[in-house]
A = this chain, B = another copy of it.
Amino acid sequence: MKTIRDAIHGTIGIDDLSLELLDTPEMQRLRGIRQLGFGYLVYPTATHTRFEHSLGTYHLASKLGRYAGLSEKDQQKVKMAALLHDIGHGPFSHTTETAVSDHVNVVHEAQTVKLIKNSMITDILKKNNFNPNEIAGIAIGKKLPLGEIVASDIDVDRMDYLVRDAYYTGAAYGVIDLDRLMLTATLHRGKLRMKENGLSAVEALVFARYLMYPAVYQHHTVRICDSMLSAAIVECLEEGLFSVEELYNMDDIELISRLRLMTTFSGEIMQRLEHRKLYKRAIVIGREDLGSGYKKLLNLETEKLEGLQAELTEVCDLKQGEVLLDIPAPLYASEATAEILYKGKPTPIEAISPLLKALRTAQWSYWNVAVYCDKKNVENVKQKAQDVLLGFVQ
């Protein structure tokens, strides 16, 4: 068994089949995709990649499968699905996603499925008598019960990225009792469940994510950079400089180098990003000021979102890309469905933990809708954007 050294988990052993998957171009491309996109502009040490995160997720899936007593075959499935779960990400991960998608559809998951079912990976899986369809389903959390291990409220993906992101940002918030999470997971009537004595560890996991949200994932500087890059990508797509499919096959290096060469708005945006001439926040509106309308904004489909963005640009009398609307997804997009074995019965975690329930409310104190533009346009945009947005949600 080959071993790989990892800064988080120490030594990771890779089985032969997973090693073969690891060596495919689809997996190797992830070496070029930074886990936190522009996060490194705020946290210089956050330069880690989806490749190492995938290895870490594989490692935890391997441990969890063993501890929970899965069959050998199921363990292998979960390990491979964990390793492959992120291959659908485009350059700068969530930025690419924002550029081509909305909060409702998750493009990178479809892309993951597509790649598992139609690439070198497919051949490797088939040759070893695994069903690519099934592995893909597990990888995106759709094929239950195994999918829960890789993608659910309490999954190995999240366990790895929270610990890893905390380590590389130096943010000190992501310390999670991985051992305890592993040891309290169990198979209950064919489903993965945490035992009751794992509740504190689950609370710590969710809390870590809650703290990482404003400090890292939704740091205002990162949001501005993401919005700018996203606008540049949108322009490129519209002008046919590359297709969505081509985009999803790039790594950060290719996207950056392409944008560097452009002489259009996209090229200018890239230059601004590299010289830190970032847009400023013209307005920031919290949930309270949006009334119940915040839901309307969160549920906007791509087309309508583009319409709102276009209206904003027009009202402000600016060119496309000069004023940017940013509606981030909330920390908890949906109700938590995770269940814990409480007095022997699967029970929703929020029914047991007042803390977790509280976090669902507390998250909104960190959520807001913002509009960005060049410093010189801030005054102009301030009032107009406010009107457009509040008008829209009423």
Contact = CB atoms under 8 A, between A and B. Distances in A.
Would you call the interface of chain A mostly helix, strand, loop, or mixed? helix
A241 interface: no
Contacts of A168: 7
B203 A211 contact: yes
Interface in A330-362: 352-355, 357-359, 361-362
Contacts of A204: 172-173, 211
Nearest to A257: B257
A187 interface: no
Contacts of A169: 5, 7
Interface in A175-219: 175-177, 179-180, 183, 200, 203-204, 207, 210-211, 214-215
Contacts of A357: 358
Interface stretch (A43-51, A130-138, A142-150, A320-328): A43-51
Contact of A254 (B173, B200, B257): B257
Given A25-B275, A173-B204, A358 B365 contact: no
A51 B275 CA distance: 14
A319 interface: no
A68 interface: no
Contact of A256 (B45, B211, B253, B354): B253
Nearest to A25: B275
B51 A49 contact: no
A274 interface: yes
A170 B49 contact: no
Contacts of A380: none
A312 B43 CA distance: 47
Nearest to A29: B274
A51 B276 CA distance: 15
Nearest to A210: B355
B253 A180 contact: no
Give the bracket for the number of chain A residues in contact with chain B.
35 or more
Interface string A159-174: 0000000011111110
A28 B274 contact: yes
Given A28-B275, A253-B253, A7 B167 contact: yes
B354 A365 contact: yes
A370 to B, nearest CB: 18
A43 B355 contact: no
A265 interface: no
Nearest to A358: B358
Given A5-B169, A172-B176, A49 B47 contact: yes
Contacts of A384: none
Interface in A60-85: none
Given A7-B170, A355-B362, A276 B31 contact: no
Interface in A254-271: 254, 256-258, 260
A25 to B, nearest CB: 6
Nearest to A212: B200
Most buried by B among A4, A170, A211, A357: A170
A207 B208 CA distance: 10
A332 to B, nearest CB: 14
A97 interface: no
Given A5-B171, A6-B170, A172-B180, 4 more contacts: A10-B170, A353-B365, A355-B359, A358-B358
5 contacts: A3-B183, A6-B170, A31-B44, A47-B52, A354-B362
